[in-house]
Chain A
Amino acid sequence: MKHHISALFLGTALALAAGSAFAQDKTVKIGVLTDNSGLYSDLGGAGSTLAAQMAVEDSGLAAKGWKIDVVSADHQNKPDIGTTVARQWIDVEKVDIFVDVLNSGVALAVNNLVKEKNAIMINTGAATSDLTNTQCSPNTIHWVYDTYMLANSTGQALVKAGGDTWYFLTADYAFGHALERDTSAVVVKSGGKVIGTVRHPLNSSDFSSFLLQAQASKAKIIGMANAGGDTTNTIKQASEFGIVAGGQKLAGLLLFINDVHSLGLKVAQGLNFTETFYWDLNDGTRAFSKRFSERMKNKAMPSMVQAGVYSGLIHYFKTIDAMGGNPHDGVKVVAKMKETPTDDPLFGKGTIRPDGRKLHPAYLFEVKKPSESKGPWDYYKLVGTTPADQAFRPLSESACPLVKK
């Protein structure tokens, strides 16, 4: 009898142990796919990996028995390298979720792969609005910003201020084309006119030829549909060729705090552009940014891409924690993330739409004059805020198949 009872206990215990192991797979692998060595590496790169690690630490999931790993790789801004790494990560390393993935060309390629393999991408780096429009996917969330929002905010503000003729200086790949297309639409809709475009190869160092063409066009606004090192060199050389002094205005359609830091306020002062995150916005952003900057090698403040990695992952962790485990079905997790309202200290309260677009306010900033800045990284003045529900492409205009009309 005694023997029977102990066998019963043992059997029950074994069944329970097996059952719990089966029901609660609490392992997650995060892949930070980014530009670690090229012209965008300051916006994402090592800072994005740090942001991901901070999100893991702050989530408190380790204490609840979760095992979370962060891996990082350099896609070198090449879609083929990006997809090769992504494929290997999913197939061999069992990566569940991709973050950062800046560069629109890489992002669109990885977007397809993530959908095919039922993984997840929280894209915080790429700009192309196609990620939530024609190319939208049940596995992808576009977190920080996109070309439609940038065009809508900066473009509209500049046309309203009298800049009704535009000439575009466009980076010749998916991102530049999308930004030019979306901004042109806004300019025309607001009553302005696009009088020309010049497309330059990605990662050019000399922009004087392109700037001379823009100057000759006599357009009131020269729209820079490029990013990173391309934008900083454009701005620097535009000031050298006396473009702003000659009465034309430069519109930085996509500028990051790292670009302003690299240019210095003397050259960058007066530029208007849109971001969705600035370290000095409120107590929440300041507290995070201070912790972030202390751990960065060059003491840099976070860019909106890096802030997005943190914010996106915090929401992801909340969701998988609420699901209790088994986070490997991408579509299921993303659907749950869309159901849950977002709330974090960096982007405030927000929501995720059915097309994968994360909504939060967009801020129009102006770069301070050197005399107005109180110290390192004190660069922006807030000029205007577009509320979350107006900042992004309305669902009524969406071509995303996931949106029911």
Chain B
Amino acid sequence: MQALYAQLLVGLINGSFYALLSLGLAVIFGMLNIINFAHGALYMMGAFCAYFLLNIAGIGYWPALIIAPIVVGIFGMILERTMLQWLAGLDHLYGLLLTFGLALIIQGVFQNYFGSSGLPYAIPSELQGGMNLGFMFLPIYRGWVVVFSLIVCFATWYLIEKTRLGANLRAATENPTLVRAFGINVPRMITLTYGLGVGLAALAGVLSAPINQVRPLMGADLIIVVFAVVVIGGMGSIMGSIITGFALGVIEGLTKYFYPEASNTVVFVLMVLVLLLKPTGLTGRAA
């Protein structure tokens, strides 16, 4: 029974990565209508950015949590300005193909220079060690990841659903012509939104660097699962992707306990079931 509690907690920790990543995807899809397949590659860039900051500039983990998302976010905005914006109004497939190609190129470049086995990144000294919870040994760093992700997820949700800026954004995606008539610069808003989504991915990358090796393929391994999370939660639904992210982490953790061989496929089995029963996803609205 103790082991089960431990698995639940570990699942929650993995769930925080799923939530952060799927949140970014949902924001980008909801606002820009782009299925951002480059998300995994941008997550990986976040981790590499933290590595470079530490090893080249001597900048540690805490500043990296802010700098890396900004740097990668700016890179994302350049992508949006130079490439993605031309796809506005076209079929989803074009965005998917373009971002998928971008992901392959980015990963290929990193792999070419840094190989596949990855680079080390240590846990910051303040968060080293762990505490005995009775039923498991919880590394402090992992506890921090859960708390921090929850805060970021909630803040993003609040920004989009409850603030004036978020209201403008949502209106801009519903009816850009009308919003433009109110004097709001719609293209700039869209660029900033893409930057925000990308920044969230990079933030997850920095968070994951001390746990996983910083590897060029770290995003590629994760992205498919995260897509399943977004589909299950309902494409574009902010709250749906947060809740589904955490829930799937837990379900996956339980699978690892009861039937480890299936742990990589359980998410997709769930996706099939959800799509059969409710094609719009758990919290999605019908198009």
Binding site for B on A (CB under 8 A): 37-43, 45, 172, 198-201, 203-206, 208-210, 212-213, 215-216, 228-229, 232-233, 236-237, 240-242, 246, 258-259, 261-264, 266-267, 297-298, 300
Q: Please provide the 4 A-B residue pairs with the shortest distance between their CB atoms, ordered closest to farther.
A: A209-B256, A264-B120, A262-B117, A201-B264
Known: A240-B141, A262-B115. 11 other contacts (CB 8 A): A37-B116, A38-B116, A39-B116, A208-B14, A209-B256, A212-B7, A216-B3, A241-B139, A263-B120, A297-B112, A298-B113
Cβ-defined contact, A38 with B217, below 8 A = yes
Cβ-defined contact, A213 with B257, below 8 A = yes
Please indicate the chain A residues that have their CB under 8 angstroms from the CB of B114 in the complex: 298
B26 on interface, CB distance cutoff 8 Å = no
Name 18 interchain pairs, CB-CB below 8 A, sorted by A. Answer: A42-B115, A172-B261, A201-B263, A201-B264, A208-B10, A209-B11, A232-B118, A233-B212, A240-B139, A242-B129, A242-B137, A242-B139, A246-B137, A262-B119, A263-B120, A263-B213, A266-B122, A267-B120
Q: Which residue of B lies closest to A265 (CB)?
A: B120
- Which of A216, A240, A300 is close to B115, meaning CB atoms less than 8 Å apart? A300
Question: With the chains together, A216 CA to B212 CA distance in Å?
Answer: 22
Q: Mark B200-213, 1 if CB is under 8 A from A, else 0.
A: 00000000000111
Please indicate the chain A residues that have their CB under 8 angstroms from the CB of B130 in the complex: 240-242
Cβ-defined contact, A229 with B215, below 8 A = yes
Query: What's the nearest-Cβ distance from chain A to residue B208, in Å?
Result: 9
Cβ-defined contact, A212 with B116, below 8 A = no
Take A203-B221, A205-B212, A209-B10 as given contacts and tell me if A240 and B116 are in contact as well, using a CB distance cutoff of 8 Å.
no
B45 on interface, CB distance cutoff 8 Å = no
Please indicate the chain A residues that have their CB under 8 angstroms from the CB of B263 in the complex: 200-201, 204, 209
Q: Size band of the B side of the interface?
A: 35 or more
Tell me the B102-158 residues at the A interface (CB within 8 Å): 108, 111-120, 122-123, 129-130, 136-137, 139, 141-142
Q: Mark B1-17, 1 if CB is under 8 A from A, else 0.
A: 01100110011011000
Question: With the chains together, A223 CA to B217 CA distance in Å?
Answer: 25
Cβ-defined contact, B3 with A212, below 8 A = yes
B218 on interface, CB distance cutoff 8 Å = yes
Query: What's the nearest-Cβ distance from chain A to residue B193, in Å?
Result: 28
Q: Mark B208-247, 1 if CB is under 8 A from A, else 0.
A: 0001110101100110000000000000000000000000
Please indicate the chain B residues that have their CB under 8 angstroms from the CB of A232 in the complex: 117-118, 213
- Which of B10, B115, B118, B217 is close to A298, meaning CB atoms less than 8 Å apart? B115
B69 on interface, CB distance cutoff 8 Å = no
B253 on interface, CB distance cutoff 8 Å = yes
Please indicate the chain A residues that have their CB under 8 angstroms from the CB of B187 in the complex: none
Question: With the chains together, A339 CA to B10 CA distance in Å?
Answer: 56
Question: With the chains together, A259 CA to B260 CA distance in Å?
Answer: 25
Take A200-B260, A212-B10 as given contacts and tell me if A41 and B115 are in contact as well, using a CB distance cutoff of 8 Å.
yes
Question: With the chains together, A331 CA to B78 CA distance in Å?
Answer: 58
Query: What's the nearest-Cβ distance from chain B to residue A136, in Å?
Result: 29
Please indicate the chain A residues that have their CB under 8 angstroms from the CB of B256 in the complex: 200, 209-210
Please indicate the chain A residues that have their CB under 8 angstroms from the CB of B108 in the complex: 37
Question: With the chains together, A205 CA to B208 CA distance in Å?
Answer: 11
Q: For A41, A209, A233, which residue has the most chain B Cβ atoms within 10 angstroms?
A: A209
Q: Which residue of B lies closest to A201 (CB)?
A: B264
Cβ-defined contact, A204 with B115, below 8 A = no
Take A201-B263, A210-B256, A212-B6 as given contacts and tell me if A258 and B115 are in contact as well, using a CB distance cutoff of 8 Å.
yes
Question: With the chains together, A264 CA to B112 CA distance in Å?
Answer: 20
- Which of B113, B117, B218, B260 is close to A258, meaning CB atoms less than 8 Å apart? B117
Question: With the chains together, A242 CA to B211 CA distance in Å?
Answer: 13
Please indicate the chain B residues that have their CB under 8 angstroms from the CB of A210 in the complex: 256, 260
Question: With the chains together, A212 CA to B135 CA distance in Å?
Answer: 10
